Amino acid sequence: MKTLFKGLLLILSLSITTMVQAMDWLKETPSLVELVESGKLPPIDKRIPDDVQVARLTPGQVPGEHGGELRLLMGKQKDIRQIVIYGYARLVGYTPELNLEADILKSVDVIENRIFTLHLRKGHKWSDGHPFTSEDFRYYWEDIANNPELSKGGPSKLLITDGELPRVEYPDKYTVRYSWSNPNPFFLPALAGARPLYIYKPAHYLRQFHARYQSKEKLARMIEEFGRRNWMGVHVNHDRPYKATNPDLPTLQPWVNTTYPPSERFIFKRNPYYHRVDQKGRQLPYIDSIAINIASNKLVPAKTGANESDLQARYLRMDNYTFLKLASKRNNFDVRLWQTAKGAHIALYPNLNTNDKVYRELMQDVRFRRALSLAIHRREINQVVYFGLVQESNNAVLEECPLYKPDYQTAWIEYDQEKAGELLDELGLKERDSRGVRLLSDGRPLEILIQTAGESTEQTDVLELIHDSWLKAGIKLYSIPSTREVFRNRVFSGDAMMSIWSGIENAIPTAENSPHELAPTSKYQYQWPKWGSYYESSGQSGEAPDMPAVQKLIALNDQWVRASTHEQRESIWHQILEIHRDQMFTIGIVNHVPHPVVVNNHLHNVPETGFYDITPGAYFGIYKPDTFWFDEARR
């Protein structure tokens, strides 16, 4: 037992080798020289951490030069949070190969996935020059997460395992330890998320808004000044690292917002205290500033075509590709096609919790779901809607995923009316009405209403094609467009029989990523909203799943959380994926739909191809936009 325990004692060091060389290899950033010489800013060796991180360039990337302004287009003011996503400075972050590595942190020691010791970089500073220490972690844990007024329900559920809160210790200024008695596999991925869990906050700045540190009179004045109901409102409003709406909030990101909203143009300037340098001793980011122009999102493709953006993927769609390609000749930019990491670009979600009893029984019968899938002519959809450029597939993990097996994607996707007909006959749906539509056991015709969020004509086009092939199998399809909120409420309540949406968000997971997306864990899973809700609320709402296969998924998901070795997790993942392959809980149509990415010809180090997705890629984030640089023509 003891040896086994020792065997489980796995120490995972995520640190990157940091070179501590003589400081004279560092070069001052040209745009900051003036500030340094006038004494407004300390010189570079005083700004960067002692254990500075040397950026590791991915193959194809080369060291660059400082300078330039990156122009971006966004659809709304709220979109400026994209810079926090693109910047992607996280305590730990994903590499392009999707491994976790320490980033803001110098290193992390992990014991059994339950004791995490975070080592900060000595001399690391916030963007205002104040030291970044374990005090910032203490402030978050004690004064925010465990403050009954600021966090009524307590800390985020990602920090809770089996109902247990972590023990948080601060051995010294540069060390923080989170420990649980059971494994918490969600902890590091949450820190590395595109929208990360912030377990550190700039204490020196936020204290002035906190009731524990600020006098009542001053707080009362601030509540008045900012028009809030209480001090919590003032605190929360100033503490939005993800939204980047407060230019005064110190940050650790490569670029810092300098524009107070509301505005139509936001300027993000380089963070002079950023913790990364390149091999030649230049402090990152290379690009001095980012200018975001807000334009209506329908105009973004046109404006991009008119060369008003240097790096654009947001609000571009596959159907803009030809227009952009044409404009690229006139306007000196390059249009690249990146991959998307969704399991399915479009998938049908039979609602296993639908209210109608007859349909519910059908939806819960695997033969019915398989028949639905077999009666879809995916090749035709690919040719007609996507010019044959995408891949016909189930809603499953992609080839790039280490867990991939071909049959996860290809089971039950061939177009086979005969087999579909046999399956439907087996279900007792033999009678047909004058239109050729099969009749249900209670005599009603088999008419499936598919709810759409009414946002894309693409979905409607696909449904139109499915309608034709389903009708041959004796199933009548109606699509019901509505708005997103109505759509969701219909699914949640069980009024929806079936819905159409995109597939798995992260279809390139490793065994270390949680499989919760594939088990009923959230009401936003449209194939089993009530079961998801049941799990999410710990039985307070929703219904307990009664299908054995689904119960198995929940059990596997729980096992994954408790698993302590990579092999165990991998085997659990495969079991889950096999259940999905056989059960067809969702019916994927196509995936591998490319996403156009427009890159100015003067902008370098942007990969030719990559994954454009928020999870796990943080869009451009994992490709480290702080290493993107402009050549002379644009500086």
Partner 1 sequence: MLGYILRRILTMIPTLLVISMLVFVIIQLPPGDYLESHIAELQSQGESVDEKKIQFLREQYGLDKPLLHQYWYWLTGMLQGDFGYSFEYDLPVTEVVGDRLFLTIIISIATILFTWIVAFPIGIYSATHQYSWGDYGLSTLGFLGLATPNFLLALVMLYFANVYFGTSIGGLMDPQYIDAPWSMDKMVSILEHLWIPVIVIGTAGTAGMIRRLRANLLDELQKQYVVTGHAKGLPPGKLLVKYPLRVALNFFVADIGNLLPTVISGAEIVAVVMSLPTTGPILLSSLQSQDMYLAGSFLMFLAVLTVFGVLVSDIALALLDPRVRLGESASK
The stretch near partner 1 (CB under 8 A) out of 429-437, 472-480, 484-492, 564-572 is 484-492
Least Å from the CB of residue 492 to partner 1: 11
The stretches of 265-377 forming alpha helices (DSSP H) are 300-305, 321-331, 357-364, 366-374
Q: How far is the CB of 308 from partner 1 (least distance, A)?
A: 6
**Given the complex with partner 1, which of 150 and 549 has the nearer CB atom?**
150
Candidates 495, 505, 543, 578: give the one binding partner 1 (CB under 8 A): 505
Structure-block tokens of residue 308? 């008003």
546: how many CB neighbours lie within 10 A of its CB?
10
Site string for partner 1, 173-212 (x = CB under 8 A): --------------------xxx-----------------
221 touches partner 1 (CB under 8 A): no
Does residue 488 belong to the site contacting partner 1 (CB under 8 A)? yes
Q: Which of 10, 13, 62, 78 binds partner 1 (CB under 8 A)?
A: 78
Q: How far is CA 393 from the centre of its chain?
A: 22
* Contact range with partner 1 by CB under 8 A, out of 92-100, 152-160, 280-288, 404-412: 152-160
Query: Which is nearer to partner 1, 78 or 122 (by Cβ)?
Result: 78
Instruction: Report how far residue 363's alpha carbon sits from residue 34's, in angstroms, rounded to the nearest whole number.
Output: 69
Among residues 71 and 438, whose Cβ is nearest to partner 1? Answer: 71
Q: Which among 304, 305, 308, 279 has a CA at the least distance from the CA of 291?
A: 308
Q: Compute how many residues bind partner 1; rule: CB under 8 A.
A: 53
3-state secondary structure of 439: strand
In the complex with partner 1, which residue's Cβ is closer, 119 or 523?
A: 523
Decide: residue 482, CB within 10 A, 0-12 exposed, 13-18 middle, 19+ buried: middle
In the complex with partner 1, which residue's Cβ is closer, 190 or 606?
A: 190
Distance CA 68, CA 524 (A): 42
Query: Of 239-268, which residues contact partner 1 (CB under 8 A)?
Result: 240, 243, 245, 259, 261-265
Nearest to partner 1 of 288, 392 (CB atom): 288
**Cα dihedral sign for 381, 386, 389, 394?**
negative
> Minimal distance in Å, beta carbon 88 to partner 1?
14
Cα 565 versus chain centre, distance = 25
Residue of 156, 214, 564, 575 interacting with partner 1 (CB under 8 A): 156
Q: Is 469 helix (H, G, I), strand (E, B) or coil?
A: helix
Contact 334, 324 (CB under 8 A): no
524 binds partner 1 (CB under 8 A): yes
Q: Is 98 in the site for partner 1 (CB under 8 A)?
A: no
Nearer to partner 1, 41 or 188 (CB): 188
Largest CA distance in the chain: 88
* 308 lies in the binding site for partner 1 (CB under 8 A): yes
Asked if 329 touches partner 1 (CB under 8 A), the answer is no
Give the residue, chosen from 485, 538, 548, 632, that forms a contact with partner 1 under the rule CB under 8 A.
485
User: Using the rule CB under 8 A, which residue among 71, 275, 370, 624 binds partner 1?
Assistant: 71
Cα separation, 18 vs 11, whole angstroms: 19
Peptide bond into 262 cis (omega under 30): yes
Which one of residues 6, 40, 152, 357 is an interface residue with partner 1 (CB under 8 A)? 152
Give me the least distance between CB of 611 and partner 1, in Å please: 12
Residues 597 to 626 in contact with partner 1, rule: CB under 8 A:
613-615
Report which of 559, 565, 511 is spatially closest to residue 7, judged by C-alpha positions: 565
Amino acid at 476: K
Residues 6+ apart with CB under 8 A from 394: 343, 344, 373, 408, 409, 410, 411, 412, 413, 581, 584, 587, 588
What is the closest distance, in whole angstroms, from the C-beta atom of residue 195 to partner 1 in the complex?
A: 5
Among 36, 165, 302, 579, binds partner 1 (CB under 8 A): 302
Q: Does the footprint of partner 1 cover residue 326 (CB under 8 A)?
A: no
How far apart CA 583 and CA 373 sit, in angstroms, is: 11
Note whether 229 binds partner 1 by CB under 8 A.
yes
| Exposed / middle / buried, residue 68 (Cβ in 10 Å: 0-12, 13-18, 19+) | buried
In the complex with partner 1, the residue whose CB is nearer, 291 or 366, is 291
Do the beta carbons of residue 389 and residue 594 sit within 8 Å? yes
Closer to partner 1 at the Cβ: 139 or 174?
139
Identify each DSSP E strand in 542-604 by its residue range.
587-591, 595-600, 603-604
Measured at the CA of 85, the angle between CA 246 and CA 233, to 5 degrees, comes to 35
Q: For residue 110, give the 3-state DSSP assignment.
A: strand
Angle at 330 between CA 325 and CA 333, to 5 degrees: 60
Q: Does 154 bind partner 1 (CB under 8 A)?
A: yes
Using CB under 8 A as the binding rule, the residues of this chain from 400 to 419 that contact partner 1 are none
Residue 293 near partner 1 by CB under 8 A:
yes
Q: Which is nearer to partner 1, 3 or 538 (CB)?
A: 538
18, 146, 237, 601: which one contacts partner 1 (CB under 8 A)? 237
Contact between 160 and partner 1 by CB under 8 A: the answer reads no
Count of residues in the chain: 635
Name the one range near partner 1 by CB under 8 A: 101-109, 133-141, 238-246, 351-359. Answer: 238-246
Q: Which residues bind partner 1 (CB under 8 A)?
A: 71, 76-78, 150-154, 156-157, 193-195, 227-229, 232-233, 236-237, 240, 243, 245, 259, 261-265, 291, 293-296, 298-299, 302-303, 306, 308, 453, 483-486, 488-489, 505, 524, 613-615
